[in-house]
């Protein structure tokens, strides 16, 4: 009997940790179940270990563990299991078993004519409408992040020469500072158009890209900001989907005309006209939200820190964590460097909690956990929250609340200290450009140690009462 062949594609919005953790979990589970598997990863550097047409054709089933577009229409006609990337980490064996047992649904487009432009109906893969919307949004966010990170750090570096060093009319003017600020500013200016373009691309493939970019430019130049970019992206995507339906009866010989002429011209026209109507009310909403959060940040740092910390640690890279993260990124692009500082602190804390816990309470952790804990010093310091997931997964009812408290402490102290962080990622690597760097590190260490002590004592209590969770007994 020939070995079952499974292929998989994994991807998360940031493309840093979840993507590769899911890939590794699937490989381990496949080896355990005696299945041959190849996993294609959609990370921040692009597609790695790409699947070939022959591999797709020969595969007995496909696993998509992703929160972004992974070009799923390649798998039409194959049995497909489509789940969030976090499920690929937690339930890899279950996903593979679904393929083995023949329970996976055959992946189909909603109609033959829409195969090239629409692949999002819930019935196609069991995905909910909400998850489809989330995947489209995260596809935009994942492509936008490098612009924000690169632009933000360059602008922050320009301030090292002096707060007014990029101004030619100021006595502290420095040409290098001006270059850094100008180039970094271009990265920030492209953030909203890129976000909108890749939301639309996720919905309507390449035809949506052009309309989305133009809609994003209108949102950006009109002051509608990040929220306007989201609206522009979805609007452009569904405009192209609508156009594809309207022109579905055209002769196949005119397919090229649709792609190169009709979709770009009509897509830009319709998206531009609609965004021109929406940009003013979206600008009012955007400015109101920024003002509210700024006032809230100054008046209630404790409540804000509690909210941000709880959201960031609840699912560690999942939708709730990303909601806080994306909000921080949006505010960062608007010039608010305080909010992101709290979000970053809250995201850095969970892995450091586990790292300090295995050091301070060494005898209550097995060798594999100690090794993972030490690695989490590196993951936490570089803003990779997902390093705490293996610890939380073993006893989520106890561990996740501890992590939420720890992250909240870090965020509250960060807001209280008025720390400013100019980049949405990088962790301690961006310390040279952090305003109040020592206070920021101190806030994170305090929150992490509070969590580590609580986590350590919970393990001690479990061990003393012989209440170690079954999953921990197995791993031990």
pTM of the model: 0.71
Q: Return the structure tokens found at 358.
A: 């295995």
Backbone angles phi, psi at 424, to 5 degrees: -85, 0
CA distance 425 to 444: 15
Q: Return the structure tokens found at 427.
A: 């962790």
To the query of whether residue 347 is one of the catalytic residues in this protein, the response is no
String of DSSP letters for 297-321: HHH-HHHHHHHHHHHHHHSSSSHHH
Q: Which residues pair with 66 in a beta bridge?
A: 11
Cα–Cα separations (whole angstroms), residue 318 to 256, 309, 422: 39, 14, 23
Domains assigned to the chain: 5-108 (3.40.50.2300), 129-284 (no CATH), 300-475 (no CATH)
CA distance 282 to 212: 16
Distant-in-sequence, close-in-space partners of 245: CB < 8 Å, separation ≥ 6: 113, 114
Strands 105-106 and 79-83: antiparallel
> 65 near 10, Cβ under 8 Å?
yes
CA distance 449 to 364: 17
Residue 247, number of CB atoms within 10 A of its CB: 16
In the set 6, 9, 12, 243, the catalytic residue is 12
CA distance 344 to 305: 11
Short-list 273, 199, 195, 268, CA closest to 237: 199
Short-list 452, 322, 473, 467, CA closest to 399: 452
Predicted confidence at residue 1, as pLDDT, reads: 52
Q: What is the 3-state secondary structure (H, E, C) of 8-49?
A: EEEECCCCCCHHHHHHHHHHHHHHHHCCEEEEEEEECCEEEC
> 447 near 355, Cβ under 8 Å?
no
Distant-in-sequence, close-in-space partners of 11: CB < 8 Å, separation ≥ 6: 19, 41, 42, 43, 66, 67, 68, 69, 70, 85, 142
Predicted confidence at residue 8, as pLDDT, reads: 94
Predicted confidence at residue 138, as pLDDT, reads: 82
Strands 61-66 and 5-11: parallel
Give, as one character, the DSSP assignment of residue 395: S
SS3 65: strand
Q: How far is CA 269 from the centre of its chain?
A: 31
Predicted confidence at residue 360, as pLDDT, reads: 92
Predicted confidence at residue 111, as pLDDT, reads: 42
Mean pLDDT by 10 residues, the chain (476 residues): 84 77 90 92 85 91 88 88 86 91 80 42 50 83 81 79 81 89 87 92 90 93 85 94 86 75 92 92 81 71 89 79 78 80 92 94 86 87 82 85 95 92 80 89 96 92 66 41
Predicted confidence at residue 116, as pLDDT, reads: 44
Instruction: List the strands of the sheet with 79-83, edge to edge.
Output: 46-48, 36-43, 5-11, 61-66, 79-83, 105-106
Across 105-230, where does the E strand assignment appear? 105-106
SS3 63: strand
Q: Return the structure tokens found at 110.
A: 């909603």
Q: How far is CA 75 from the centre of its chain?
A: 24
């Amino acid at each position: 009997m020939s070995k079952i062949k499974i292929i998989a594609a994994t991807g998360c919005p940031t493309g840093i940790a979840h993507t590769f953790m899911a890939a590794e979990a699937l490989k381990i589970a496949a080896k355990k179940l005696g299945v041959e598997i190849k996993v294609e990863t959609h990370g921040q550097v692009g597609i790695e270990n790409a699947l070939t047409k022959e591999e797709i054709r020969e595969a007995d089933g496909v696993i998509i563990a992703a929160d972004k577009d992974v070009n799923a229409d390649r798998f039409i006609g194959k049995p497909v299991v489509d789940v969030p990337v976090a499920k690929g980490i937690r339930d890899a064996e279950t996903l593979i078993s679904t393929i083995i047992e023949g329970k996976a649904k055959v992946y189909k487009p909603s109609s033959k004519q829409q195969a090239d432009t629409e692949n999002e109906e819930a019935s196609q893969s069991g995905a909910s409408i909400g998850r489809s919307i989330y995947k489209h949004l995260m596809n935009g966010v994942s492509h936008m992040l490098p612009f924000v990170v690169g632009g933000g750090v360059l602008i922050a570096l320009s301030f090292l020469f002096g707060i007014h060093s990029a101004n030619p009319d100021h006595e502290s003017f420095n040409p290098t500072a001006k270059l850094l600020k100008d180039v970094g500013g271009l990265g920030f200016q492209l953030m909203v158009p890129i976000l909108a373009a890749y939301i639309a691309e996720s919905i309507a493939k390449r035809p949506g890209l052009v309309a989305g970019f133009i809609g994003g430019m209108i949102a950006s130049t009109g002051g509608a900001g990040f929220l306007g970019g989201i609206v522009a992206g979805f609007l452009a995507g569904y405009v192209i989907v609508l156009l594809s339906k309207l022109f579905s009866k055209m002769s196949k010989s005119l397919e090229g005309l649709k792609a190169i002429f009709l979709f770009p011209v009509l897509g830009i026209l319709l998206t531009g006209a609609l965004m021109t109507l929406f940009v003013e009310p979206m600008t009012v909403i955007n400015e109101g939200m920024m003002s509210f959060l700024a006032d809230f940040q100054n008046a209630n740092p404790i409540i804000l820190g509690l909210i941000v910390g709880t959201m960031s640690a609840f699912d560690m890279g999942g939708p709730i964590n990303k909601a806080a993260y994306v909000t921080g990124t949006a505010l960062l692009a608007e010039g608010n460097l305080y909010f992101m500082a709290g979000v970053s602190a809250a995201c850095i804390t969970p892995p450091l909690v586990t790292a300090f816990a295995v050091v301070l309470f060494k005898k209550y952790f097995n060798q594999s956990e100690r090794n993972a804990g030490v690695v989490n010093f590196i993951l936490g310091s570089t803003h990779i929250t997902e390093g705490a997931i293996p610890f939380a997964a073993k006893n989520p009812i106890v561990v996740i609340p501890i992590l939420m408290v720890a992250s909240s402490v870090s965020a509250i102290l960060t807001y209280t200290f008025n720390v400013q962080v100019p980049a949405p990622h990088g962790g301690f690597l961006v310390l040279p450009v952090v305003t109040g760097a020592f206070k920021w590190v101190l806030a994170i260490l305090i929150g992490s140690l509070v969590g580590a002590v609580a986590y350590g004592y919970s393990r001690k209590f479990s061990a003393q009462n012989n209440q170690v969770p079954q999953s921990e007994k197995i791993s031990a």
